[in-house]
């Protein structure tokens, strides 16, 4: 029998998980929360949501946060990331501050810090106040300045407790799903609007960095990006070009301006060629240039695999990134059989090395990585879900992360998605990701096998295999 290898992580490495307000808090009558885009969409089309479970239910963190914070401790958390709901804190996103929300968030944040857990707070997790959506959402530049005011309000209200912030979670996703697909509102195919929304989101992020540093110079602020490496079908020039352009859209459109302060020239040229380059003032570009993030959050679930297009785009084809490439279904790829996504652990190593070599070895955290499983109840034994598959998934990714760190990647922590089974947009509770099981009927919380294992991982600052 071969000897086990010990994977020990650097001293001070952070272990924890991420969640978001809209996916965990729920809505309670009289809580002062106003509608978000997701609340409104569910009211309009509940049938779009799995089992018609909407965002008012989620995992009732609003009522059970004290119990849940205790469970963070029981599962070995040394770091926890959550978010503030803009629609909960400020009436319709621009109105008066909801004092009930202030009291709730302060109690939550103080409770987490009191447990000795590092707190990271995200300002925006796909949840736009619907009143702003009705005025054009992120297509309207007024939303940028409404967000800036909201960010300033958060820094003012909670800056005495919170010292580590996130501007946006996965900002490319609402662009792809809302303006190049039909998975977020407004659900249109409009490349010009997509480019404008992306630019306005980046400008808003840079303004939040600027305000944070002005108000609290000692605080640190980042953006969380789902960095999805694009792997070409072959070494041919055509396939290599397809992968490079896929990464321009999916990764570099936010990574470069957030970390380097400027957009890739090739991306700008493509947008110009299609006459969809957003109008930008010199002052706005200067704000982006001068207000880069202090560190980076990285979400990684799966790679994208691409190939050159098999035929040229037709004149009437709507412009999307797939104008330049096609998905490649690689034979023999490793699949999560319970979710359908590819599992490719080396992607997390490739991300670390890319950040080291191309982005000044910026400090970063894995802010999401996880395994969704449908029908997880079938793995229950003696009342506890025996999710050995999740433990193996995490270990396999940590082995690649450990390798990247050994080669100089500047990663400071690993946050799993997620702490407790949570509501997930159109999929609602279809796929479970948590270290802790949530019974939707009773709201009972039961630590899974992976939750007990994660505590040992954190206490040992590593594992052996």
Q: Read off the pLDDT of residues 234-264 as tens digits, 9 standing for 90 and up.
A: 999 999 999 999 999 999 999 999 999 999 9
What is the reported pLDDT for 1? Answer: 59
For residue 55, the 8-state DSSP code is T
**How far is 144 from 171, CA to CA, in rounded Å?**
13
H/E segment holding residue 44: helix 37-44
**How far is 98 from 89, CA to CA, in rounded Å?**
5
* CATH 3.20.20.80 for the 6-464 domain, yes or no: yes
For residue 136, the 8-state DSSP code is T
Domain boundaries defined on the chain: 6-464
What is the reported pLDDT for 338? Answer: 86
Per-position b or e across 368-382, b if 16+ CB within 10 A of its CB: bbbbbbbebeebeee
Q: Read off the pLDDT of residues 147-180 as tens digits, 9 standing for 90 and up.
A: 999 999 999 999 999 999 999 999 999 999 999 9
Phi and psi based region of residue 164 (left: phi greater than 0; alpha: psi -120 to 50; beta: remaining)? beta
Please tell me which residue in 25, 139, 170, 284 is annotated as part of the active site: 170
Which spans in 344-387 are helix H? 346-358
283 belongs to the catalytic site: no
368 belongs to the catalytic site: yes
Q: Read off the pLDDT of residues 298-329 as tens digits, 9 standing for 90 and up.
A: 999 999 999 999 988 887 787 888 889 999 99
Q: With beta carbons less than 8 A apart as the criterion, state whether 35 and 125 touch.
A: no
Q: What is the chain's pLDDT, residue by residue, as a tens digit (465 residues)?
A: 578 899 999 999 999 999 999 999 999 999 999 999 999 999 999 999 999 999 988 888 999 999 999 999 999 999 999 999 999 999 999 999 999 999 999 999 999 999 999 999 999 999 999 999 999 999 999 999 999 999 999 999 999 999 999 999 999 999 999 999 889 999 999 999 999 999 999 999 999 999 999 999 999 999 999 999 999 999 999 999 999 999 999 999 999 999 999 999 999 999 999 999 999 999 999 999 999 999 999 999 999 999 999 988 887 787 888 889 999 999 999 999 888 899 999 999 999 999 999 999 999 999 999 999 999 999 999 999 999 999 999 999 999 999 999 999 999 999 999 999 999 999 989 999 999 999 989 999 999 999 999 999 999 999 999
**How far is 127 from 308, CA to CA, in rounded Å?**
35
Q: CA 73 from chain center: how many Å?
A: 23
Q: CA 338 from chain center: how many Å?
A: 21
Q: Read off the pLDDT of residues 371-397 as tens digits, 9 standing for 90 and up.
A: 999 999 999 999 999 999 999 999 999
Q: With beta carbons less than 8 A apart as the criterion, state whether 407 and 355 touch.
A: no
Measure CA of the first residue to CA of the last residue in the chain; give whole Å: 12
Please tell me which residue in 25, 176, 368, 376 is annotated as part of the active site: 368
**How far is 9 from 461, CA to CA, in rounded Å?**
6
**How far is 91 from 33, CA to CA, in rounded Å?**
7
Q: Is 17 helix (H, G, I), strand (E, B) or coil?
A: strand
Per-position b or e across 62-101, b if 16+ CB within 10 A of its CB: bebbeebbebbeebbbbbbbbbbbbbbbbbbbbeeebeeb
Instruction: Please give the full DSSP string across 172-204, using - where no structure is assigned.
Output: HHHHHHHHBSSSSTT--B-HHHHHHHHHHHHHH
**How far is 208 from 219, CA to CA, in rounded Å?**
12
Pick from 237, 235, 230: which is nearest to 322 by CA? 230
Residues 332, 336, 341, 342: is their CA dihedral positive or negative? negative
User: How many other C-beta atoms are found inside a 10 Å radius of the C-beta of residue 197?
Assistant: 24
R_g over Cα of the chain: 21
Model confidence, pTM: 0.96
């Amino acid at each position: 029998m071969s000897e086990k290898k010990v994977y020990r992580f650097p001293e001070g490495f952070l272990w924890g998980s991420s969640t978001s307000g809209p996916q965990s808090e729920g809505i309670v009558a009289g809580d002062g929360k106003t509608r978000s885009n997701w609340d409104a969409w569910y009211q309009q089309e509940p049938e779009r949501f799995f089992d018609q479970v909407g965002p008012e239910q989620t995992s009732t963190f609003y009522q059970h946060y004290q119990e849940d914070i205790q469970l963070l401790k029981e599962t070995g958390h040394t770091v926890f990331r959550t978010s503030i709901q803009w629609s909960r804190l400020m009436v319709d996103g621009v109105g008066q501050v909801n004092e009930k929300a202030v009291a709730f968030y302060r109690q939550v944040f103080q409770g987490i810090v009191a447990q000795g857990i590092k707190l990271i707070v995200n300002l925006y997790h796909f949840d736009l106040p619907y009143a702003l959506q009705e005025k054009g959402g992120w297509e309207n530049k007024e939303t940028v300045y409404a967000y800036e005011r909201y960010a300033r309000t958060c820094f003012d209200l909670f800056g005495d407790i919170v010292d580590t912030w996130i501007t946006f979670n996965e900002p490319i996703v609402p662009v792809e799903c809302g303006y190049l697909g039909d998975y977020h509102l407004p659900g249109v195919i409009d490349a010009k609007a997509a480019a404008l929304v992306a630019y306005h989101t980046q400008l808003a992020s840079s303004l939040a960095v600027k305000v944070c540093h002005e108000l609290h110079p000692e605080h640190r602020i980042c953006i969380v990006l789902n960095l999805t490496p694009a792997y070409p079908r072959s070494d041919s020039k055509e396939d290599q070009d397809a992968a490079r352009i896929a990464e321009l859209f999916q990764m570099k459109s936010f990574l470069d301006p957030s970390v380097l302060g400027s957009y890739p020239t090739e991306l700008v040229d493509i947008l110009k060629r299609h006459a969809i380059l957003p109008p930008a003032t010199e002052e706005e570009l200067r704000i982006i240039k001068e207000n880069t993030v202090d560190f980076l959050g990285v979400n990684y679930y799966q790679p994208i695999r691409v190939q050159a297009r098999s035929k040229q785009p037709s004149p009437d084809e709507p412009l999307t990134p797939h104008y330049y490439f096609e998905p490649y279904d690689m034979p023999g790829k490793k699949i999560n059989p319970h979710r359908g996504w590819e599992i490719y652990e080396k992607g997390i190593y490739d991300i670390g090395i890319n950040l080291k070599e191309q982005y000044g070895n910026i400090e970063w955290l894995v802010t999401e990585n996880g395994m969704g499983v449908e029908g997880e109840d079938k793995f229950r034994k003696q009342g506890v879900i025996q999710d050995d598959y999740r433990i193996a998934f995490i270990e396999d990714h940590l082995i690649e992360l450990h390798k990247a760190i050994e080669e100089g990647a500047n990663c400071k922590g690993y946050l799993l998605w997620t702490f407790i089974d949570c509501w997930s947009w159109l999929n609602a509770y279809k796929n479970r990701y948590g270290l802790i099981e949530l019974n939707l009927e009773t709201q009972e919380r039961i630590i899974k096998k992976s939750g007990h294992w994660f505590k040992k991982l954190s206490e040992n600052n590593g594992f052996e295999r």
